[in-house]
């Protein structure tokens, strides 16, 4: 691309003197920019990330989702097809990868050892990615963080939804069943081949109106939430705010890198929790500049870099709170702040399960971490439709679960209020939750939703007492419109009172 050509031209090889410039011009004249792209030192980094994406998706597909290699190649790895990537390496039969069933690990890039990446399943964490060219020796495994002890499954299968997994599909007289089924067909049989719905759950209050799965999936199948994880992160942060351990408008408790001689002189000390939750930190943009699969958070997601260290290295380029810029690192800064205010690593690792997952009975949900033990709560969460439906119901119930208040009404008001930044697109972003765009009139304005890549949505519509969970394995560039799905579902319900 043009951006790659420009970056290569600033390489030191082309600015150290006239001879270097002449060599550069000769290369351009003879081979064009393609030769420079091949010479780009970041090519190996990009290839590492491509290998890492496949390793993580394969590892989690096999050992977290318990799917077959054929299913993983046909569906999870469909995401890697052009124009996004160069395609998955190999087939379900063979390829430059290795699956170690004993250690529950996957290595991709066995034909290019210097950029090969291994992802290994860790009980309680899902799959953890190792740095490139790392072998899973006993020393390497011992250096990985210990996962929190999986909590006992205390949601009884015989108990009724949502406190158990006994689901009875309700058919209330005031629900248009034909319209409801038509909405499901709209989701499962889209006109666009790139959209693949794997599960759909629709509830009203505590009643399940519809639950449906694609072939190869069922109620127990957990898949990656992608950025729906950000809304789970926001929920946990809200609990810390309620506990008085964090404050929306205090300076973010982050030790910025590199360390300066006088910490008070660091302009990043003006960044608050509110700023990062609004995606308005003012820090150097990475993900919004289409570099997420070449550098930045992509290195933490797929190549074994520390998510916390890299997030703290970005420099300030705008005044905090003045510009909306969707960045994974902003969420990861909030999660790093969570680690900083909790007393120790063990408390940090147990906090999500003790404060949220166990209380809601989200027993199928795993929160992933990098190899340094920092939660990658901007994307790396594996869950299923029912668990995410419980999260939606918690918000529908204004933060109360089984009579216990888990999140405050003030926090729900915060996440549902548009970020007060002029560049907030169509006023549709709140506190790590998405809001109804201000130019849509066919959706109740009180609706709000999580949103993750490949079509992961939890939609809460308080005026209709409805929660909609749609899980997908979409691929390509044409995404699934969750507000259109909301419109179709609400056609089956009576008008709000």
Condensed to tens digits (0 to 9), the pLDDT of residues 191-214 reads: 888 999 999 999 999 999 999 999
| Residue 1 scores a pLDDT above 60 | no
Count the neighbouring beta carbons within 10 Å of the beta carbon of residue 476: 15
Of the listed ranges 143-152, 217-226, 322-331, the least confidently predicted one is 143-152
| Residue 156 scores a pLDDT above 80 | no
pLDDT band, residue 149 (cuts 50/70/90): low
Residues paired with 369 in a beta bridge: 375
pLDDT of residue 42: 77
| Mean of the per-residue pLDDT values of the chain | 89
3-state secondary structure of 100: strand
| Residue 15 scores a pLDDT above 60 | no
| Cα separation, 102 vs 99, whole angstroms | 9
Joined together, the tokens standing for residue 237 give: 């942060």
pLDDT of residue 192: 86
pLDDT of residue 44: 87
From 176, 226, 195, select the one nearest 450 (Cα to Cα): 226
Helix locations, 67-200, DSSP H? 69-74, 138-143, 177-188
pLDDT band, residue 152 (cuts 50/70/90): low
pLDDT of residue 169: 97
pLDDT of residue 23: 43
């Amino acid at each position: 691309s043009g951006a790659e050509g420009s970056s290569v031209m600033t390489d030191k090889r082309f600015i150290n003197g006239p001879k270097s410039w002449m060599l550069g011009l000769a290369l351009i004249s003879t081979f064009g920019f393609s030769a420079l792209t091949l010479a780009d030192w970041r090519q190996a980094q990009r290839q590492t990330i491509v290998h890492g994406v496949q390793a993580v998706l394969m590892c989690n597909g096999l050992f977290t989702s318990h799917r077959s290699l054929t299913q993983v190649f046909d569906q999870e790895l469909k995401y890697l097809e052009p124009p996004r990537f160069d395609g998955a390496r190999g087939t379900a039969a063979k390829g430059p990868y290795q699956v170690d069933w004993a250690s529950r690990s996957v290595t991709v890039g066995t034909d290019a050892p210097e950029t090969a990446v291994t992802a290994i399943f860790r009980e309680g964490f899902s799959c953890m990615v190792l740095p490139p060219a790392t072998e899973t020796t006993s020393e390497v495994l011992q250096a990985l963080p210990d996962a929190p002890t999986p909590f006992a499954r205390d949601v009884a299968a015989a108990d009724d939804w949502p406190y158990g997994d006994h689901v009875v599909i309700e058919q209330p007289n005031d629900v248009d069943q034909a319209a409801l089924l038509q909405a499901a067909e709209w989701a499962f049989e889209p006109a666009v081949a790139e959209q693949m719905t794997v599960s759909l759950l629709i509830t009203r209050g505590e009643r399940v109106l519809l639950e449906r799965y694609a072939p190869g999936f069922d109620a127990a199948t957990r898949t990656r939430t992608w950025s729906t994880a950000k809304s789970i992160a926001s929920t946990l942060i809200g609990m810390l705010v309620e506990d008085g351990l964090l404050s929306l408008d205090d300076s973010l408790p982050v030790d910025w890198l590199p360390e300066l001689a006088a910490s008070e002189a660091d302009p990043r000390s003006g960044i608050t929790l509110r700023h990062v939750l609004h995606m308005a930190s003012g820090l150097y943009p990475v993900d919004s500049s289409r570099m997420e699969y070449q550098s930045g958070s992509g290195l933490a997601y797929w190549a074994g870099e520390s998510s916390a260290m890299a997030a703290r290295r970005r420099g300030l380029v705008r005044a905090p709170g003045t510009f909306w810029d969707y960045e994974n690192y902003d969420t990861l800064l909030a999660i790093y702040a969570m680690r900083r205010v909790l007393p120790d690593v063990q408390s940090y690792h147990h906090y999500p399960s003790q404060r949220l997952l166990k209380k809601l009975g989200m027993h199928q949900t795993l929160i992933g971490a990098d190899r340094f033990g920092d939660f990658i709560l901007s994307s790396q969460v594996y869950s299923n439709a029912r668990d995410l439906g419980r999260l939606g119901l918690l918000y529908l119930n204004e933060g109360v679960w089984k009579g216990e208040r888990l999140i405050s009404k003030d926090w729900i008001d915060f996440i549902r209020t548009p970020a007060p930044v002029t560049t907030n697109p169509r006023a549709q972003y709140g506190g790590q939750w998405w809001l109804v765009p201000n130019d849509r009139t066919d959706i109740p304005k009180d609706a709000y939703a999580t949103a993750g890549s490949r079509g992961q949505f939890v939609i809460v519509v308080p005026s209709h007492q409805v929660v909609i969970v749609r899980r997908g394995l979409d691929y390509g560039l044409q995404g699934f419109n969750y507000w259109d799905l909301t419109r179709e579902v609400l056609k089956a319900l009576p008008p709000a009172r």
